[in-house]
Chains A and B, each alone.
Chain A
């Protein structure tokens, strides 16, 4: 069961990275694409918890770092998404008495976008990457957050439903009494 879950999570992340780099960029809003990988990481964190969020964020971010056309220092997206995933997992635990509502999910996605984008830009500044432009930060963050919420409406229920299907029976009993 654990192997199946890990395999599914890896599959989701790979699909997300592929679609984000080659399909979604064609429907970008002002150049900003939907962070599908971040959304999948948040969905995994919401359905499995902080540890899963952090590890899935690390793996997904690492893929974004090394899959072409990435040309920045590897590890920046990995760090950003790992921390965003960890925080999303914490939010889920705080409300574990009931499943996270739609508004909660949307706020989690906005928070995750803000945290990951800020960390990515900040690490870029620390590494003296000349391409980081703080003047554009606010606008791009706003567009990205809105776009991500739209993407999350479709993706998060799907991922959480599938991950819920492969939960072990004893855990399912405990969550849904």
Chain B
């Protein structure tokens, strides 16, 4: 099809009889040159893809990425600081919706509180349990950072750029979290920026522990915009319940995930078709479209105090 468009004969068929040729874009020499450019560009693209596709051997595109991050990191940082007017605009549009949603939420909260008042013992026990669990998680040394770039849904990947890099002690496979829960892990770093893979990405899998029963499982991203997650338990007989909370169970050496960070809450459970066990849908605590300030766990967590137990040994 491209060939047809390029030949001068088809061109003249498009033109009416009285019209004079206005530019010499149709001469065979120009057509040849144009196609040469196209072929060269496509070849360059394929070369790049082939070179970068085998990641294991260390991609030659890596220095390019470093350079690009060096140039665009500060630019993105500046642009993010200058986005105040954009934010204001969005907020104004969102205000009505927000007020309505808040009203709904307050009504619901009111009902919940009334109900909770009647079942306060149960709730208090549960809160205590949660508190205990949170205390198990040691305190981490964190480096605060701001999100300066977000990938669009067109690229299918859920990644963000933060403005802290190797210069701030950020390395790959570090946990990233914010005040409400787990955000993701660092997959790529440069001098001044780092790329974070969000837990909602299809490439992401996190070990998650059910708060209620301490059962272990895996949380994987669905690639949806809202960041919805799937949760599969290791033990096929255990069943998660709606409303159960999930926290990370941590990886060996605390990389990429440190233990005890809240991930999300179970919203629905469906039985797996054709196999044992069930899959739960998890709503993450962190809204992936609204993350701004995050913390990167840079320091080794303070070791939880372990008192030695001495037995008589009878």
- Interface residues of chain A, those whose CB is within 8 Å of chain B, are 14, 17-23, 25-28, 30-33, 35, 49-51, 54-55, 57-58, 61-63, 65-79, 82-83, 86, 89-90, 93-94, 96-97, 117, 120-121, 123-124, 127, 129-133, 136, 140, 144, 174-175, 177
Selected A-B contacts with CB under 8 Å, 5 pairs: A22-B79, A58-B45, A66-B68, A129-B156, A131-B158
Q: Given A49-B25, A50-B38, A130-B203, answer yes or no on A120-B2 (Cβ-Cβ < 8 Å).
A: no
B86 near A26 with CB under 8 A, answer: yes
Contact, CB under 8 Å: B152 / A33 = yes
Using C-beta atoms within 8 Å of the partner chain, give the interface range for chain B: 35 or more
| B113 sits at the interface (CB 8 A) | no
* B265 sits at the interface (CB 8 A): no
Report how far A76 CA is from B50 CA in the complex, Å: 10
Residues of chain B with a CB closer than 8 A to A71's CB: 151, 157, 159, 187-188, 195, 197
Roughly how many angstroms separate A7 CA and B43 CA in the complex, as a whole number?
Answer: 24
CA–CA, A83 and B86, complex, Å: 32
Inter-chain pairs besides A23-B82, A31-B152, A131-B203, 15 sampled, C-beta below 8 Å: A22-B148, A26-B86, A30-B153, A30-B225, A32-B154, A33-B152, A50-B38, A54-B37, A61-B45, A69-B159, A77-B155, A83-B42, A131-B202, A140-B154, A177-B22
Contacts of A55 in B (CB 8 A): 37, 41
Residues of B within 8 A of A14 (CB): 75
Question: What string of 1s and 0s marks CB contacts (under 8 Å) between B147-183 and chain A?
Answer: 0111111111111110000000000000000000000
Task: From known contacts A18-B76, A93-B25, A177-B22, infer whether A82 and B154 are also in contact, taking CB-CB under 8 Å.
Answer: no
Beta-carbon contact of B69 and A68 below 8 Å: yes
Is there contact, CB below 8 Å, between A18 and B41?
no
Q: How far is the CB of B50 from chain A (nearest CB, A)?
A: 8
**Bound CA–CA A67/B77 (angstroms):** 13
Q: Is the CB of B90 within 8 A of A26?
A: yes
Assuming the contacts A23-B86, A58-B41, asked whether A28 and B76 have C-beta atoms less than 8 A apart, the reply is no
Query: Is B41 in contact with A28, judged by CB distance below 8 angstroms?
Result: no
Is B150 a contact of A25 with CB atoms below 8 Å? yes
Which of A72, A82, A136 is B45 in contact with, Cβ under 8 Å? A82
Bound state CA distance, A70 and B196, in angstroms? Answer: 10
B41 and A175 form a contact (CB under 8 A): no
Pairwise interchain contact B45-A75, C-beta atoms closer than 8 A: yes
| Given contact pairs A21-B150, A54-B38, A74-B52, A175 touches B23 in the complex (Cβ within 8 A) | yes
What does the 1/0 interface line of B43-84 toward A look like (CB < 8 Å)? 011111101110000010100110011001101110110110
Distance of A152 Cα from B89 Cα, bound (Å): 20
Taking the closest CB of chain B, its distance from the CB of A176, in whole angstroms, is 9
Taken together as a complex, chains A and B put the C-alpha atoms of A72 and B69 apart, in Å, by 15
Which of B37, B148, B188, B197 has the largest number of chain A CB atoms within 10 A?
Answer: B37
The 6 closest A-B pairs by CB, nearest first: A75-B48, A31-B225, A31-B153, A33-B152, A79-B45, A25-B150
Residues on B with C-beta less than 8 A from A18 are: 72, 75-76, 79
CA gap between A121 and B51 in the complex, in Å:
19
* B42 and A79 within 8 A (CB): yes
B20 (CB) vs chain A CBs: closest residue: A177
Which residue on A lies nearest to B2, using beta carbons?
A: A90
Docked complex Cα distance between A78 and B15 (Å): 34
Q: Are A21 and B45 in contact (CB under 8 A)?
A: no
Q: Shortest distance in angstroms between A33's beta carbon and chain B's nearest beta carbon?
A: 4
B48-A62 in contact (CB<8A): yes
Chain A residues near B158 (CB-CB < 8 A): 131
Which of B72, B73, B149 interacts with A25 by CB under 8 Å? B149
Residues in chain A near residue B237, CB distance under 8 A: none
* Chain B residues, CB < 8 A from A123: 49
Q: Which of B1-26 contact A (CB under 8 A)?
A: 2, 5-6, 11, 14-15, 19, 22-23, 25-26
